[in-house]
Amino acid sequence: MQVRVEKDTMGPIEVPADKYWGAQTQRSKENFTIGGQQMPKEVIEAFAILKKSAAQANAQLGVLAQDKADIISQVCDEILEGKLADEFPLVVWQTGSGTQSNMNVNEVVANRAHVLLGGNLLDEKKKIHPNDDVNKSQSSNDTFPTAMHIAAYKKVVEHTLPLVQKLRDTLNSKAEQFMDVVKIGRTHLMDATPLTLGQELSGYVAQLDYGMKALRNTLPHLSTLALGGSAVGTGLNTPAGYDVLVAEKISKYAGHEFITAPNKFEALAAHDAIVETSGALKQLAVALMKIANDIRLLASGPRSGIAEILIPENEPGSSIMPGKVNPTQAEAMTMVCAQVIGNDVAISVGGMNGHFELNVFKPVMIYNLLMSAQLIGDACDSFDKHCAVGIEPNTERIKHNLENSLMLVTALNPHIGYDNAAKIAKKAHKEGTTLRQAAIDLGLLTNEQFDEWVRPEDMIGSLKK
Ligand SMILES: O=C(O)C[C@H](O)C(=O)O
């Protein structure tokens, strides 16, 4: 491998000749060979947005030359266009402030800008300095949390919410379509009184509505930015008005409304906004786990299970059992939910561990949050396309289970009382007969009364939702 020598305050170090990164990136690469999970590209893109914004704000406030701000902005645009994708090799498991990823961006922007300005990577002195120019008016302690918020906000708004909404809309149209399909209800996994398939599905729709509401409620906190707090939240080495101005620029370049954090000490030392967003994603995971489990249980069979709904048969399920088809989308969805709930634990541990002026669990928190937001969106999309859109009632089976159910006896409570109704249910169950037969044998009702009072379609209440 061809190398060149780069220097930082610790001295010289060899870096790959064809890369723009500098000494601090190289040191991190060598000192943290842990896990292999790279800093998410969403964080790097958020850094590009904030470095461009900071450069332009600095120029406007007279602390950075406009031509320097413009060349920094040009490189940031290249990062956003994906042209420098292999320049960010650092892993998540590094310094807890994310300093090395901040410096990775600073070094790449400075060196690339130097080359764009006609310089050579071998030059001793570069035209743009990673700390003095690219990192001007900044610290890792305010840039990294700013990048966390930009990346998380964009992921939730642009990816997670639209895809959860899509699944919610499909389930809602199925709920409306099947609002009159009367089926047996189950409580404690045991037969209960009837409801319609539409009523049952409408509960899932409401769960997703509440989950999305919880997620949307986290956006105002995520939209507050630490930038301008610099090292400990006091704003040392930043020009007056910079924090407000830089948030305006970030809003413009990110395409979403961001504001400067009203309290920079909170914004550096704690990441409750990330904890909050993860909490809402966990709520969605909990809801989706229940929904996917219900759907796979209702579809179980085809001969020996509940089999009241039919779901798409997408692929052979078994390598040994010919013709077997499995509820694979529900399995993927529930695994995703397990991962998201686990991620929430890691995020909670990170969030509770800020010490004094700085939380130093930043990379692990944003890594897990972005994974959760990505997975929930992807899993909803997959479950929607490959399962929910194809849900159909198995009317034969639904009718059979409904007519066989002993809990239709509940309709008799107002007419013959709970104790007599229980006698009918127990006799029918013990003797393997129908409720009608048991009721007549006990002399508690006539055939006609049974027809008049035990009507599943009259037992579904008036609640459509
Ligand atoms: O990297 C910085 O800007 C600050 C660093 O995280 C520190 O507080 O030591």
**pLDDT tens by residue, 391-425:** 999 999 999 999 999 999 999 999 999 999 999 99
Distance, CA 98 to ligand 1 centroid (Å)? Answer: 8
Amino acid letter, 112: R
304 is in an annotated binding site: no
CATH 1.10.275.10 domain locations along the chain:
3-136
What percent of the chain is helix, strand and coil (3-state, nearest 5)? 60, 10, 30
**CB of 94 closer than 6 angstroms to any ligand 1 atom:** no
CATH class of 141-396: mainly alpha
- The fold adopted by the segment(s) 3-136 is Fumarase C; Chain B, domain 1 (1.10.275)
**What does CATH list as the number for 406-458?**
1.10.40.30
Q: For 243-259, what is each residue's pLDDT tens digit? A: 999 999 999 999 999 99
> Per the confidence metrics, is the pTM higher than 0.80?
yes
In degrees, rounded to 5, the angle at the alpha carbon of residue 345 between the alpha carbons of residues 339 and 348 is 140
If one counts every other C-beta atom within 10 angstroms of the C-beta of residue 416, the result is 18
Largest CA distance in the chain: 104
Long-range Cβ contacts of 113-122 (<8 Å, 24+ apart): 113/68, 113/71, 113/72, 113/74, 113/75, 115/20, 116/71, 116/74, 116/75, 117/71, 121/4, 121/17, 121/20, 122/4
Is the shortest distance between the CB of 97 and ligand 1 below 6 Å? yes
In the chain, CATH 1.20.200.10 covers: 141-396
pLDDT digits (tens, 9 = 90+) for 248-297: 999 999 999 999 999 999 999 999 999 999 999 999 999 999 999 999 99
What is the distance between the alpha carbons of residues 209 and 187, in angstroms, rounded to a whole number?
Answer: 23
Which atom from ligand 1 is nearest to the alpha carbon of 140?
Answer: 3
Q: Among 9, 134, 139, which residue has the most ligand 1 atoms within 8 Å of its CB, making it the best to mutate?
A: 139
Centre of ligand 1 to C-alpha 142, Å, is 9
Residues 6+ apart with CB under 8 A from 135: 102, 103, 106, 143
Q: How far does the centroid of ligand 1 lie from the alpha carbon of residue 130, in Å?
A: 15
ipTM of the complex: 0.96
What residues are labeled active site? Answer: 188, 318
Measured CA to CA, the distance from residue 416 to residue 411 in angstroms comes to: 10
First to last CA, the chain: 66
**Ligand 1 atom closest to the CA of 97, numbered from 1:** 6
Residues of the chain with pLDDT under 70: 464-465
Q: Is the CB of 139 under 6 A from ligand 1?
A: yes
The residues facing 225 across adjacent strands are 260
Identify which of 8, 9, 99, 143 to mutate to test ligand 1's pocket (most ligand atoms within 8 A of the CB). Answer: 99
